[in-house]
Structure 1
Amino acid sequence: MPQLIAGPLFSFLISSTAIATTVAGPLATAIGYAVFAGGAFLASTLLAPDKPEVPKPDDGSYNLKQSVPSLAYVLGTTKKGGDYAFLEEKSGTAYHIIVWAGHRISGFVQHYLHDDKVTLDGDGDVAAIGGKYSEDAVRILTRVGVNASSAYSDVVTKFPTIWNNNCRGDGLASVLMRVRTAKSEDYLDVFPNQMPEHSAVGNGALLYDPRKDSTQGGSGSHRYENPSTWEFSKNIALMRLWHLCHPVGGKMSYTNMYLPDWINAATICDQNVTNRSGGTEKRYNGGFWFRASNDPIEVGRVMDEAAEMVVYQRADGKIGVHAGEYVAPDITLNAVNTHSIRVDKNKRRSATVLGVRGRYVNTAKDYITEDAAIYGDPYGDVDDSTERTKTFENALIQSHNHCQRKQKLVYTRANARKVSIVADYTADDVRNVPYRRFVTVHYPSRGLVNATVEITSSVSIDLRNMRISFSGILVDSDLYAFNAATEEGVPGESVEPLPDDGVPDPVDFAATIETEVVSGGATAAFILATWDFEDDTLTYELEYDRTSGSTGVQSVFSNAGDTQVRSGYLVDGEEYKCRLRAYGGGSKSDWTDYIFLTATADPVAPGAVTSVSATPGSGQATFQWTAPNSANYFACRIYINTVNNFGTSTLSATEYGPPSAVDNRTVVGLAAGTKYAWLVSINPSGVEGTAVATGSFVVT
Structure 2
Amino acid sequence: MRRKFLIAAFLGTTALTPEPAEAAAVGGFIVGALGGAAAAGASAAFVAGVSVGAAFAATAIGGFIVKTVVAVGLSALAGALAPKPSLPPPAARMVNFAQPVTYAEYVFGRARKGGPLGFRGFADNRRYYVPILAAHEIEGIVEHWLDERPVALTAEAEQGVSNISTAPIAGHGRINVFTGAAGQVVDPGLEAAFAEITTAHDFKGLAGAVLWAKRPPQESFSKIYPNGKQWSYAPVLDGKKDLYDPRTGSRGYSNNAALVMADWVVNILGRGVDWDEVADEANACDLLVTNAERETQPLWTLNGTISDEQSYEDQRAQLAAACDAFIYERTDGKVGFTFGRWIEPTLTLTADDFFAVELSEGKWGADAPDEVAAVYVEPTNGWRETPSGTWVENDVAKPVRDEPQLYMVHNHNQAARMNKRIARTRRAKYQLNGTIGMAGYEILGGRDGGRSHRFIRVVHDDLGVDDYFEVGELVREGVATFTLSANSVRPEDFDFDAETEEPQRPRYGAVVSDSDIPVPENLTGAPQDNGSALFVWDPQDSAYTQELRYRPVGDSYWLTQQTSESTDRLRVGGLADGQDYEAQIRNRTAGVGASDWGPETPVVLSAVADTVPPGGLSAFSVSEAAGNAVISFTAPNDSHYFGTRIYRGWDGSFDNAVLIHTEYGISSSGDSYTDPAPGYATFYYWAEPINSSELPGPRSGPQTITINEPGP
Same fold (TM over 0.5): yes
Q: Secondary structure at the match of 1:182?
A: coil
Matched, 1:259 2:278: no
CA distance in 1, matches of 2:155, 2:443: 65
Paired residue for 2:204, among 146, 166, 170?
Answer: 170
Paired residue for 2:310, among 269, 294, 302?
Answer: 294
Paired residue for 1:86, among 98, 110, 119?
Answer: 119
- What is the match of residue 146 of structure 1? 181
Residues 224-266 of structure 1: CA distance to partner in whole angstroms, max 9, x if unpaired? Answer: xxxxxx20011122122112222xx2123xxx32222222222
- What is the match of residue 258 of structure 2? 237
CA distance in 1, matches of 2:413, 2:425: 19
Paired residue for 1:420, among 425, 433, 454?
Answer: 433
Aligned residues of 1:286 and 1:397 also touching (Cα < 8 A): yes
Matched, 1:488 2:488: no
Structure-to-structure mapping, 1:196-595, within 5 angstroms: 196-211=231-246, 218=247, 220-222=248-250, 230-246=251-267, 249-252=268-271, 256-338=272-354, 340-347=356-363, 350-376=366-392, 380-382=396-398, 388-416=400-428, 417-423=430-436, 425=438, 435-449=452-466, 451-460=467-476, 469-494=483-508
Q: 1:352 to 1:36 in 2, by over 3 A?
A: closer
Q: 1:25 to 1:269 in 2, by over 3 A?
A: farther
- What is the match of residue 134 of structure 2? 101
Relative to the length of structure 2, the TM-score reads: 0.56
Q: 1:316 to 1:165 in 2, by over 3 A?
A: closer
TM-superposed CA distance for 1:402, in Å, is 0.7
- What is the match of residue 191 of structure 2? 156
TM-superposed CA distance for 1:477, in Å, is 2.0
TM-superposed CA distance for 1:348, in Å, is 7.0
TM-superposed CA distance for 1:165, in Å, is 2.1
Q: Secondary structure at the match of 1:446?
A: coil
Matched, 1:133 2:133: no
CA distance in 1, matches of 2:130, 2:255: 27
CA distance in 1, matches of 2:452, 2:176: 50
Q: 1:431 to 1:69 in 2, by over 3 A?
A: closer
Higher mean C-alpha displacement, 183-192 vs 281-290? 183-192
Paired residue for 2:143, among 89, 101, 110?
Answer: 110
CA distance in 1, matches of 2:193, 2:442: 72
Q: Secondary structure at the match of 2:373?
A: strand
Aligned residues of 1:24 and 1:460 also touching (Cα < 8 A): no
Higher mean C-alpha displacement, 439-448 vs 165-174? 439-448
Identity of aligned residues (%): 19
User: Which structure has more RCO (C-alpha within 8 Å, separation ≥ 6)?
Assistant: 2
Amino acid aligned to 2:465? L
Structure-to-structure mapping, 1:648-659, within 5 angstroms: none
CA distance in 1, matches of 2:397, 2:62: 36
Q: 1:23 to 1:355 in 2, by over 3 A?
A: farther
Q: 1:181 to 1:381 in 2, by over 3 A?
A: closer
TM-superposed CA distance for 1:20, in Å, is 13
Q: 1:427 to 1:93 in 2, by over 3 A?
A: closer
Which structure 1 residue ranges, 5 or more long, are not aligned?
Answer: 1-14, 38-50, 212-217, 223-229, 500-700
CA distance in 2, matches of 1:245, 1:80: 24
Residues 142-201 of structure 1: CA distance to partner in whole angstroms, max 9, x if unpaired? Answer: 1111232111112211212x1122211111112111222222343334434432222111
Aligned residues of 1:93 and 1:181 also touching (Cα < 8 A): yes
Aligned residues of 1:83 and 1:100 also touching (Cα < 8 A): yes
TM-superposed CA distance for 1:364, in Å, is 2.9
Q: 1:165 to 1:339 in 2, by over 3 A?
A: closer
CA distance in 2, matches of 1:420, 1:23: 27
Residues 483-517 of structure 1: CA distance to partner in whole angstroms, max 9, x if unpaired? Answer: 11111111234365899xxxxxxxxxxxxxxxxxx
TM-superposed CA distance for 1:471, in Å, is 2.0
Q: Secondary structure at the match of 1:393?
A: coil
TM-superposed CA distance for 1:401, in Å, is 0.9
TM-superposed CA distance for 1:462, in Å, is 5.7
CA distance in 2, matches of 1:192, 1:427: 60
Aligned residues of 2:140 and 2:239 also touching (Cα < 8 A): yes
TM-superposed CA distance for 1:81, in Å, is 0.9
Amino acid aligned to 2:433? S
Aligned residues of 2:131 and 2:210 also touching (Cα < 8 A): yes
Q: Secondary structure at the match of 2:404?
A: strand
- When the two chains are superposed, the root-mean-square deviation of aligned CA atoms in Å is 3.4
Residues 581-630 of structure 1: CA distance to partner in whole angstroms, max 9, x if unpaired? Answer: xxxxxxxxxxxxxxxxxxxxxxxxxxxxxxxxxxxxxxxxxxxxxxxxxx
TM-superposed CA distance for 1:24, in Å, is 9.3
Q: 1:24 to 1:140 in 2, by over 3 A?
A: closer
TM-superposed CA distance for 1:221, in Å, is 4.1
CA distance in 1, matches of 2:443, 2:413: 37
TM-superposed CA distance for 1:276, in Å, is 1.2
CA distance in 1, matches of 2:477, 2:306: 35
TM-superposed CA distance for 1:67, in Å, is 2.6
Residues 352-387 of structure 1: CA distance to partner in whole angstroms, max 9, x if unpaired? Answer: 4211121110123320211111111665155xxxx7
CA distance in 2, matches of 1:69, 1:300: 21
TM-superposed CA distance for 1:400, in Å, is 0.9
Number of residue pairs matched? 440
Amino acid aligned to 1:250? L
Relative to the length of structure 1, the TM-score reads: 0.57
Q: Secondary structure at the match of 2:473?
A: coil
Q: 1:181 to 1:275 in 2, by over 3 A?
A: same
Q: 1:430 to 1:202 in 2, by over 3 A?
A: closer
Aligned residues of 1:142 and 1:175 also touching (Cα < 8 A): yes
Amino acid aligned to 1:251? G
Q: Secondary structure at the match of 2:142?
A: strand
After the TM superposition, which segments of 4 or more aligned residues of structure 1 sit over 6 Å from their partners?
Answer: 18-21, 23-28, 426-431
Structure-to-structure mapping, 1:25-40, within 5 angstroms: 32=65, 34-35=67-68
Aligned residues of 2:443 and 2:452 also touching (Cα < 8 A): no
Which structure 2 residue ranges, 5 or more long, are not aligned?
Answer: 1-33, 36-52, 71-83, 514-712
Residues 93-130 of structure 1: CA distance to partner in whole angstroms, max 9, x if unpaired? Answer: 22222211121111111111111110000127444544
TM-superposed CA distance for 1:432, in Å, is 5.5
CA distance in 2, matches of 1:23, 1:419: 29
CA distance in 1, matches of 2:441, 2:182: 53
TM-superposed CA distance for 1:448, in Å, is 2.0
Amino acid aligned to 2:252? E
CA distance in 1, matches of 2:507, 2:423: 23
Q: Secondary structure at the match of 2:474?
A: coil
CA distance in 1, matches of 2:366, 2:307: 39
Amino acid aligned to 2:182? N
Q: 1:418 to 1:26 in 2, by over 3 A?
A: farther
CA distance in 2, matches of 1:168, 1:379: 58
